[in-house]
């Protein structure tokens, strides 16, 4: 009988050959809750999908999840069911529209319970659209507890969302400080601002404090902003995506997406085995 280790190695090799595309992993996080992570994740995913990129939207915070509400879809099973072997990874995927798939996640503490099982086989043996994704956007929970740091560490780009109130800024700063231990480049999005000037002003203040207090090398950049608007809050209530309409909010989000695409074009992806969804999950699970 083959032992577990060699079995795993074989599976990993098979998976390597199966891989079709390199996926960019983008984590969207925040210090304080309720600052617009899910709103921004869903709409960024929507804009990228409209531009012909294949996008997975991974709800890593299913306990408090609302991506299903925002996207107006019903989730029946999530990653935990896959881990329990009750269904396949493809069974939990929800095709929201062409090029856009929602992947219902599960809190990492639950995943932890299953890490001793034959988890790799379940993932690696599944031929899946997920390995053809151009982007995996991860809507993390707020704060830096639990597994959130793992998600951040494993992503190519980490976007810290904040609103301009002092409590949110303090919490965003704490997230930046902690994340800077493993990530040299961090992006910020200022949400619910009055205008671009306010976003720039708040960002410059955060950057000043970060530059003088954080010892690790850190390149903090403002990716964009989203002004406070009725289009955004109204879309959440109507369960529509504001980026489907032509408004200034939509333009702001599209500008943010273009900046992200431009940034990624400049970047050569490192060739590690995290570059597919199954590889990503494997790394997450290995860290527990």
Which residues sit at the interface with ligand ATP, rule CB under 6 A?
30, 33-39, 64, 66, 142, 191-192, 226, 228-229, 232-233, 236
What does 186 interact with, of Mg ion, ligand ATP, none (CB < 5 to 8 A by kind)?
none
38 binds Mg ion (CB under 5 A): yes
Cα atoms in the 13 Å half-sphere on the side-chain side of 165: 9
Least gap, CB of 139 to Mg ion (angstroms): 6
Tell me the H-state helices in 4-118.
4-18, 37-50, 67-70, 79-83, 89-92, 108-113
Nearer to Mg ion, 37 or 282 (CB): 37
> Taking CB within 5 to 8 Å according to partner kind, which of Mg ion, ligand ATP, none is near residue 236?
ligand ATP
Task: Produce one character per residue of 130-165: b if its CB has 16 or more CB atoms within 10 Å, e if not.
Answer: bbebbbbbbbbbbbbeebbbbbbbbbbbbbbbbbbe
Task: State which residue, 33 or 85, has the beta carbon closest to ligand ATP.
Answer: 33
Strand partners, 183: none
Residue closer to Mg ion by CB (options 103, 119) is: 103
What is the Cα–Cα distance from 250 to 239, expressed in whole angstroms?
Answer: 16
| β partners of residue 142 | 30
Nearest to 256 by CA among 111, 41, 44, 114: 44
Q: Which partner in Mg ion, ligand ATP, none is near 185 (CB below 5 to 8 A by kind)?
A: none
Q: Choose between 132 and 196: whose C-beta lies nearer to ligand ATP.
A: 196
The reply on whether position 126 binds Mg ion by CB under 5 A is: no
CB of residue 188 to ligand ATP, shortest distance in Å: 14
SS3 263: helix
> Is residue 29 involved in binding Mg ion (CB under 5 A)?
no
In the list ligand ATP, Mg ion, none, the entry touching 228 (Cβ below 5 to 8 angstroms by class) is ligand ATP
Report how far residue 133's alpha carbon sits from residue 128's, in angstroms, rounded to the nearest whole number.
10
Q: Give the interface with Mg ion as residue ranges (CB under 5 A).
A: 37-38
């Amino acid at each position: 009988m083959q032992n577990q280790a060699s079995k795993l190695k074989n599976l990993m090799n098979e998976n390597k050959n199966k891989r079709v595309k390199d996926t960019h992993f983008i984590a969207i996080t925040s210090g304080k809750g309720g600052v617009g992570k899910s709103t921004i994740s869903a709409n960024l995913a929507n804009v990228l999908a409209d531009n012909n990129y294949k996008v997975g939207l991974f709800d890593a915070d299913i306990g408090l999840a609302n991506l299903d509400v925002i996207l107006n879809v019903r989730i029946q099973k999530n990653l935990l069911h896959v881990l329990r072997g009750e269904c396949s990874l493809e069974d939990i995927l929800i095709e929201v529209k062409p090029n856009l798939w929602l992947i219902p996640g599960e809190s990492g503490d639950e995943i932890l319970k299953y890490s001793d099982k034959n988890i790799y086989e379940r993932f690696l043996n599944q031929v899946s659209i997920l390995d053809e994704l151009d982007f995996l956007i991860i809507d993390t929970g707020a704060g830096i507890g639990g597994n959130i740091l793992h998600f951040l560490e494993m992503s190519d780009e980490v976007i810290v969302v904040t609103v301009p109130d002092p409590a949110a800024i303090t919490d965003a700063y704490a997230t930046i400080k902690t994340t800077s231990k493993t990530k040299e480049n961090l992006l910020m999005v200022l949400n619910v601002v009055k205008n671009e000037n306010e976003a720039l002003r708040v960002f410059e203040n955060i950057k000043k404090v970060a530059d003088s207090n954080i010892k690790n090398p850190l390149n903090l950049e403002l990716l964009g902003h989203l002004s406070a608007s009725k289009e955004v809050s109204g879309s959440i209530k109507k369960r529509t995506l504001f980026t489907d309409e032509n408004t200034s909010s939509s333009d702001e989000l599209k500008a943010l997406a273009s900046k992200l695409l431009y940034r990624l074009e400049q970047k050569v992806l490192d060739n590690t085995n995290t570059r597919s969804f199954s590889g990503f999950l494997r790394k997450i699970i290995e860290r527990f």
